[in-house]
Structures are given as structure tokens and as C-alpha cells.
Amino acid sequence: MIVQEALLKRKSVRAYLDKEVSKEQIQSILELAKHAPSGVNTQPWKVAVVMGKEKKALEEKLLYAFYHDTPTKRDYQYYPLEWKSPYATRRAACGLQLYQAVGVKKGDKEARLKQWAENFRAFGAPVMLFFYMDDSLQAGSFLDYGMFLQSFMIAATAEGLATCAQGALAEYSDIIKEHLSIPKETILLCGMALGYEDEDASINQYRTPRLTLEEFVTFHE
Ligand SMILES: Cc1cc2nc3c(=O)[nH]c(=O)nc-3n(C[C@H](O)[C@H](O)[C@H](O)COP(=O)(O)O)c2cc1C
């Protein structure tokens, strides 16, 4: 698959087939993703790959925490505390598209919670990944890490696999670190679902819009 094709094909997939992904497939994706650039070649990425019985055990802990209102613990502030325009509008549109795809009505809090809870089982994907880095690293390493994550998702797409980056999987960083023996002195950035797309699932039927170049680019000649 050529890069252009993979860039256009990648999308966030939130329903997966019950079909295993081999350790060799994951290793070959990571072998490609590790070529991502990073400032002074810091290579800040650390990855925990969770599958099989270990995935089941961890997702049970996360779902228990979610349904028992365990306070969340994030290692960094992902989103603004106060949403400004136009980001507030885009955020609302993003949620609307997702909930409409699965027929969840606006005021149906219970159905929304149930859909959100799907995050904690990586939407049924056979593989759940966690991405973290040493907590001495600074904002530049977040940039580097983003490049690694997109490289990972593009390589996975080329392998015929689907992904969904998941900020939600960084919401209980204490539980996750303890379960996976990840040192406390780290920043858990996000998680990710990896597997084969269930192409018939209604939640996978939509694509998110993008701005036109005129809306976000200025040329200075
Ligand atoms: C770092 C990151 C974290 C995300 N966290 C979540 C998440 O927790 N749950 C979810 O359903 N989607 C999550 N997404 C997916 C975004 O909603 C999605 O990328 C966006 O709506 C654009 O759609 P697309 O990926 O299909 O192009 C995340 C995406 C990124 C890059």
C-alpha cells in the first residue's frame, strides 16, 4: 500500500472482528514506526502491548473503576479546561457523529456512558496498546511521540489492520501502571485499539470531516 493510500484509509475504528493479531504483525508495525523522527533522536516512546488473558484482566479492572466512579488519574492535561470556538463546535460535532452512528439520542446519558465504556475494552479489539514516556521529558517529546503514533497507525493500516488512538485509556494511569508494572515516574500519553475492522458495524460507517486548505493555510510568497 502506498503512503498516500494509507493516509486516506486510516480512520478511528470502534468495532473489531474476533480475529487474532499475531505478535509478529505487531513487531513488524513497531519496527516501521520506530523510524519516526524525534528531537536529538531522543526516541521517547515506550510501548506496552496487551492482549489475551492480560487484556481481559486489565479491561475488567478499568471497567470496574469506570462503573464505580473511581476518581480518574491522568498524567497530563490533554484538553483545554475551557473550550473556545471553533474547537468547542468541532468537539460537539465529533461526539454527535459518533452517537448518531450508533443511534444514541442526545439526552440518553446511560447509552452514552455505555458507549464510552467501550473504550475500556478497546472496543473489543484483540490488542490494546499503552504509550508512555519518562516524566523528565518535556513538550518537545509530545511532538515526537505524535509522529511515532501516526507512523504506527499508518504502518498498521498498510498491514490491513485498523486502529483507534484512545485518550480514554490514559484516564486511570495509576491502575494501568500498577497492572503493567510501568514505573510511576512516567507519563502515560494514551492507549490504542488494534485489530481487524468489523466493516459491517454501524459505528464504523462514518468519516470525520476536515477543513479546506483555505481555512488553515497561508502562503507567503
Ligand atoms: C491522541 C488521540 C486520542 C483519542 N482518544 C479517543 C478516545 O479516547 N476515544 C475515541 O473513541 N476516540 C479517540 N480518538 C479518536 C478521535 O476522535 C478521531 O481521531 C477524530 O475524531 C478524527 O477521526 P478519524 O480518526 O476517524 O480520522 C483519539 C484520537 C487521538 C489522536
Contact predicate 48/182, CB 8 Å: yes
Give residue 165's pLDDT band: very low, low, confident or very high (50, 70, 90).
very high
Strands 162-166 and 127-134, sheet pairing = unpaired
Mean pLDDT of 100-128: 95
Share of the chain above pLDDT 70, in %: 100
Q: What is the set of domains in the chain, with CATH numbers?
A: 3-79+120-216 (3.40.109.10)
CA atoms of 194 and 124, how far apart (whole Å): 9
Kindly report the length of the chain. Answer: 221
C-alpha 79 – ligand 1 centre gap (Å): 13
- Give residue-wise pLDDT tens across range 96-110: 999 999 999 988 999
Share of the chain above pLDDT 90, in %: 99
C-alpha 180 – ligand 1 centre gap (Å): 23
Which residue is associated with the grid cell 492482549? 51
Which residues line ligand 1 at a C-beta cut-off of 6 Å?
11-12, 14, 94, 119, 164-168, 190, 208
- Give residue-wise pLDDT tens across range 38-60: 999 999 999 999 999 999 999 99
Mean pLDDT of 212-221: 98
Mean pLDDT of 162-182: 98
pLDDT at residue 37 is higher than 80: yes
| Ligand 1 binding pocket mutation candidate from 74, 119, 151, 164 (most atoms within 8 A of CB) | 164
Contact predicate 135/187, CB 8 Å: yes
C-alpha torsion 95→101→103→108, nearest 10: -10
Contact predicate 122/166, CB 8 Å: yes
Residue 66 confidence (pLDDT): 97
Cα 131 off chain centre by: 9
- Give residue-wise pLDDT tens across range 18-35: 999 999 999 999 999 999
Residue 1 confidence (pLDDT): 77
Bridge-partner residues for 191, per DSSP?
130, 166
Look up residue 220 and give its three cell numbers.
Answer: 507567503
CA atoms of 209 and 191, how far apart (whole Å): 23
Can you list the positions of beta strands (E) in 104-161?
127-134
Mean pLDDT of the chain: 97
